[in-house]
Structure 1
Amino acid sequence: MKAALLFVVASLALASCAPAAKAPPATTARAPAPRVPMIEAVPPPRPLPVMPLVTGWMDQPATPGTWEYRRGPLGTIATFAADRPYGVVLVCPADAPGLVLFGVSISGPGERGVHIRTETADRPLRTRPGTDTGARMAMVEIAANDPLLDAMALSKGRFAVEVDGYAPLYLPSHAEVSRVIEDCR
């Protein structure tokens, strides 16, 4: 019996030297790690070209060209020669005081719609075809006391002439315009 007791004590001694068995790890429900999406490097957008803000005809660049004033036996005339297919003329005829002829050089027969825009006035007109020194002119008769003429002469330095079928002209209100108008009054 001593031998059996010795065996039990030796077994217990050996068991106490052995490490204790670990409990199995507790399982925790972990969410799977999120997938990192593959993002390609996108270059920054190119800046848009700077465009001038155009809100109306007054913001348009002036039409290149110059006014000329002449006095002759048939009356006074102011002409604007533009780098366009047509130009503009204001005439105070000597034989018709109180009347200003406004003309645009055009090609082709028939009447044309002409729209004159100023800072304070805006008026559509119809031309009557005519000829002047071989060039085709479409003319509009305007009474010399018409407020449209004053608006053309004093319109913040410019007025617009739009002719059906042609690009608009943005003309300076130079002294030549005022001189022809005053000659007819």
Structure 2
Amino acid sequence: MRRSFRLLPLLAVVGCVPQAAPPPAPAPVPVAPPPAAPAPLARDWRDWPVTPGDWTYRRDARGTVAMFGPRGADAAMVLRCDAARRQMFVSFPGASATNATVRTSSVARVLPLTPTGGTPPYVAAALAPTDSVLDAMAFSRGRFAVEGVGATPLVAPAWAEIGRVVEDCRG
């Protein structure tokens, strides 16, 4: 019996020693929600939201250029007057030949686009400076749309930069 009393304090001490805690369960890996599907577009292109961005205008060695898109990013649309050739180019990001449909308040027109061979890759349509689609883009009521150059249509405001480049090319 004496021995059992001697072990009693030892058992009490062993019972007080904290047991090693099990390692914490790994934190669950957050799963990114799937990208939200774009809101369906209204039937009438004039009700589509305007693509974020602004028009800028500048002169360079080849002529004049108006670019549309977010500041600090590659242009979503470029209108260029090649002064030496007296030719207008309408360009969009892309690498393969395709068609783009331009919709304005007065006309809808399909433009065949071919790769420009530049970096980053763009596709472009060459137009005469007198082409009526250029006037339709410049004077469209508030906006015009371009379909077929991206996942969603490009809707650009009809600002003065468009007409300015076209008039530069007409001389």
Taking structure 1 as the reference length, the TM-score comes to: 0.65
Q: CA deviation at 1:85?
A: 8.6
Query: Which 5+ residue runs of structure 2 have no aligned equivalent?
Result: 1-38
**Which residue among 83, 99, 107 is the counterpart of 1:94?**
83
**Which residue among 56, 81, 102 is the counterpart of 1:68?**
56
Q: CA deviation at 1:166?
A: 2.4
RMSD value, Cα: 2.4
The equivalent of 2:161 in structure 1 is 176
Contact 2:104 2:136 in 1 (8 A): yes
Give the direction of change, closer, same or farther, for the CA distance of 1:62–1:135 in structure 2 (3 Å limit): same
Looking at structure 1, the residues matched to 149 and 52 of structure 2 have their Cα atoms a distance apart, in angstroms, of 20
Which contiguous aligned blocks of 4+ residues in structure 1 show a shift greater than 3 angstroms?
Answer: 82-86
- Indicate the SS of the match to 1:116: strand
Contact 2:80 2:88 in 1 (8 A): yes
Query: For each residue in 1:17-70, what CA deviation from the matched residue of structure 2 results, as whole angstroms up to 9, or x when unmatched?
Result: xxxxxxxxxxxxxxxxxxxxxxxxxxxxxxxxxx9x934000111111011101
2:98 paired with 1:112: yes
Give the direction of change, closer, same or farther, for the CA distance of 1:123–1:82 in structure 2 (3 Å limit): farther
Give the direction of change, closer, same or farther, for the CA distance of 1:54–1:85 in structure 2 (3 Å limit): farther
Structure-to-structure mapping, 1:6-155, within 5 angstroms: 54-82=42-70, 87-97=76-86, 99-106=87-94, 109-132=95-118, 134-155=119-140
Looking at structure 2, the residues matched to 176 and 127 of structure 1 have their Cα atoms a distance apart, in angstroms, of 22
The equivalent of 1:163 in structure 2 is 148
Looking at structure 2, the residues matched to 85 and 115 of structure 1 have their Cα atoms a distance apart, in angstroms, of 21
Task: Please identify the structure whose Cα radius of gyration is greater.
Answer: 1
Q: CA deviation at 1:96?
A: 1.1
Looking at structure 2, the residues matched to 112 and 70 of structure 1 have their Cα atoms a distance apart, in angstroms, of 28
Query: For each residue in 1:103-130, what CA deviation from the matched residue of structure 2 results, as whole angstroms up to 9, or x when unmatched?
Result: 0012xx4201111000111011111111
Contact 1:73 1:94 in 2 (8 A): no
Query: Which 5+ residue runs of structure 1 have no aligned equivalent?
Result: 1-50
The equivalent of 2:29 in structure 1 is none
Give the direction of change, closer, same or farther, for the CA distance of 1:85–1:54 in structure 2 (3 Å limit): farther
Looking at structure 2, the residues matched to 85 and 72 of structure 1 have their Cα atoms a distance apart, in angstroms, of 17
Q: CA deviation at 1:74?
A: 1.1
